[in-house]
Amino acid sequence: MQLFRGNSADFFRMNRDNSIADHLRNAFFDYFGYNPGHNEVASWRNSLLRLSIVLEEANLDDHGIFVEYQLPLTSRRLDCMICGKDGNGYPQSVIVELKQWETCRLSDYDGEYVVTWVGGGNRDVLHPSIQAGNYCYYLRHHKTVFYDCDQRVNLTACSFLHNYQIMQDDVLLDARFSDAIKRFPVFSKSETTSLRDYLVNYLEGGEGMEILERIENSEHRPSPKLLEQLSVTLKEKLAGHSSLLGGAKDYILLDDQLVVYDSIHSIVTKGLHKKRKHAVIVTGGPGTGKSVIALQLMANLAVKGINTAYATGSKSFTQTLRKIVGSRYSSFFKYFMSFYKDNPDSYDVLILDEAHRIREKTVVFRQYSGTIPQVEEIIDAARVSLFLIDEDQVVRPGEIGSVEHIRQHAEKAGCTIHQFSLESQFRCSGSDAFIQWVNNTLQVRRTANAIWYGTEGFDFRILPSPGELDKIIKDRLHEGYTARITAGFCWPWSTELNPDGSLKNDIAIDDFIRPWNARDNVTGLQRGIPKAPLWAYDPGGVDQVGCIYTAQGFEFDYVGVIFGNDLKYDFEKSSWVGHPENSHDGQVKKNRDQFMRMVKNTYRVLLTRGMKGCYICFLDKDTERFVRSRLGV
């Protein structure tokens, strides 16, 4: 997706007649279904005019130009990409990041960013060369046109700060940024001649529309799977391989992800030299990169000899990680209830993923019944505690890990508290609009995305039956993608196996008959059937339907969701109505006060597991009609 694609002559004309910002605003509304902010429109008007003047003066008038080009599988958009050929006829493309900054200073944290006025306040943001360079690396990794030798287009990047004067000893020229600036230069308002020469060097040959179309039509490289990509990294780093020290980050982090990662890393490395304890809280919705940051941080701290552990409240996620890294390193991965025996400050750093699943007290069957809040046990056990949280993923009674709850107990323990938020979307093909549409449709919260208009690269469909859902999921599996069927907890879950060790077919809907994923505590399972904690990762899990407790925390290329009768839309009441009588989740259905919230959160989680697509079928036709009424496609 891009808000403008065309030739440089049209780009010049639209800037001269002051229509470029209106064009982008209309394109934004057509794509997202709501208007961009006033500041963003003003930014387009001012920054693009400055760039247009430079391009015209350089006589770069036979080129292809993208404006607001969305990076594959993310919600991030780069400002401008200019396409053409160099003097030798070789295809080139140059990313230009545009900034309206006037001043900036170094951040209080060590890292690859500075502090400047943006979004109504002074904020930590990436140094322009780092941001532009990361976009360049990301596209080289994800678009075949930038790495396929038969058709490869060279890609580079720079930034243009048209309101900023770089002075001698300017913070933007600090030594920590020198390598990035050499690769991806930054140009200030007095360096338009240098910017012009830089662009001419790459693009003087023109013929840019051909290159633009080649980029536009190129395929995406399959997205890297978090657990698959990090599995080798985790094992190698935990083994202390020196070749990995000081290397590039293993998963390409963009914008707010990288700012949060570096901020936390700085807090940890500085905080360990002081007596005061620290609590770091990171909030973010599904697909914003919380687990990516957590796992990379854990590996990179462990390789430096910092005593680090990673904990979750999910048996499935923890056991999957233990399986990936092997028994030698499984002790690095724990549960929230693992710390009641530990002495104070037993760990340098505890990383608590999915911290919304923290319980009121720790209870270990026949061993321990907690007398203090579980969060206090966690904070007491580490010098630095990192909590990653999405409060709208609470799906069981007793899960109380809210930001307020964590802050309250961190303050009681005398911690210095740091809080960050993640917004960039890396799931649902980067469509933040889809996530917000799900929130709005389920009435989790009001958003600007009341209607789903569809989006490039994300396949969302309502299917007429579970059988059709099963067929399309299997088609995706045969194409080489990861895919699973999930469902609301609306059928019993057998505790016993069939005599041959196979699973009982608990779910029967017309001609669709399937078992739930296996329970964790069963014995005698038929070979090839994984237990519940490994359902999402093990190839044998494709023949069973997953529930919320085995799907939460994981992602797939495509997810199928059977929307059961535990939650229905009532047209007369114009609202959702919970039906505990149709639920087979014993703990949830007896909690009538919280039933609606938890079952809505359940479907919110299931619907947002897909990287490339989500397919859904409804058992209740009124509910299906309501959701269809929220579609603009």
CATH number at residue 306: 3.40.50
E strand residue ranges, 366-511: 368-373, 382-389, 416-422, 459-462, 483-487, 507-509
Answer yes or no: do 414 and 442 share one domain: no
H-type helices in 19-87, by residue range? 20-32, 38-57
Residue written as tokens 């019944």?
A: 369
What is the predicted pLDDT for the residue at 407? 93
Answer yes or no: do 475 and 406 share one domain: no
Cα–Cα distance, 569 to 558 (Å, whole number): 25
Mean pLDDT confidence for 178-190:
93
Statement: residue 242 has pLDDT above 50? no
Read off the CATH number of the domain in which 23 is found: 3.40.91
Mean pLDDT confidence for 558-583:
94
Answer yes or no: do 312 and 442 share one domain: no
Q: Please, which pLDDT band fits residue 233 given cuts at 50, 70 and 90? A: low
- Choose the final residue of a domain: 363, 387, 422: 422
Answer yes or no: do 88 and 146 share one domain: yes
Answer yes or no: do 308 and 445 share one domain: no
Nearest CA to 202 among 296, 115, 96?
Answer: 96
Q: Please, which pLDDT band fits residue 533 given cuts at 50, 70 and 90? A: confident
Q: What is the pLDDT of residues 82-109, one digit of tens each?
A: 999 999 999 999 999 999 998 888 887 6
What is the domain count for the chain?
3
What is the predicted pLDDT for the residue at 357? 86
- Quick one: what percent of the chain has pLDDT higher than 90? 43
Which residues are CB-neighbours of 603 under 8 A, at least 6 positions away?
442, 488, 561, 563, 567
Q: What is the pLDDT of residues 612-628, one digit of tens each?
A: 899 999 999 999 999 99
Q: Please, which pLDDT band fits residue 254 given cuts at 50, 70 and 90? A: confident
Cα–Cα distance, 448 to 533 (Å, whole number): 36
Domain containing 10 equals: 2-217
What is the predicted pLDDT for the residue at 495? 87
Answer yes or no: do 501 and 563 share one domain: yes
- Choose the final residue of a domain: 161, 188, 217: 217
More confident residue, 95 or 236: 95
More confident residue, 248 or 485: 485
Which residues are CB-neighbours of 471 under 8 A, at least 6 positions away?
none
Statement: residue 249 has pLDDT above 60? no
More confident residue, 60 or 536: 60
What is the predicted pLDDT for the residue at 236? 56
Cα–Cα distance, 358 to 378 (Å, whole number): 10
Mean pLDDT confidence for 216-237:
60
Inter-axis angle of helices 8-16 and 20-32, nearest 10: 110
Inter-axis angle of helices 8-16 and 38-57, nearest 10: 120
Answer yes or no: do 40 and 68 share one domain: yes
Nearest CA to 143 among 64, 217, 69?
Answer: 217
What is the predicted pLDDT for the residue at 332? 81
Q: Which residues face 615 on adjacent strands?
A: 461, 560
Q: What is the pLDDT of residues 416-471, one digit of tens each?
A: 999 888 875 554 555 677 888 898 999 888 877 788 887 767 899 999 999 999 99
Answer yes or no: do 279 and 377 share one domain: yes
Statement: residue 39 has pLDDT above 80? yes
Mean pLDDT confidence for 18-30:
91
What is the predicted pLDDT for the residue at 238? 54
Answer yes or no: do 439 and 411 share one domain: no
What mean pLDDT is reported for the chain? 85
Answer yes or no: do 80 and 205 share one domain: yes
Measured in degrees and rounded to the nearest 5, phi and psi for residue 549 equal -75, -20
Evaluate whether 314 touches 357 at the Cβ level (below 8 Å): yes
Mean pLDDT confidence for 215-219:
85
Inter-axis angle of helices 256-271 and 290-302, nearest 10: 40
Mean pLDDT confidence for 262-283:
81
Cα–Cα distance, 268 to 306 (Å, whole number): 9
What is the predicted pLDDT for the residue at 536? 85
- Choose the final residue of a domain: 149, 182, 217: 217
Answer yes or no: do 447 and 349 share one domain: no
Mean pLDDT confidence for 509-538:
87
Answer yes or no: do 400 and 277 share one domain: yes
Statement: residue 549 has pLDDT above 80? yes
Q: Please, which pLDDT band fits residue 413 given cuts at 50, 70 and 90? A: very high
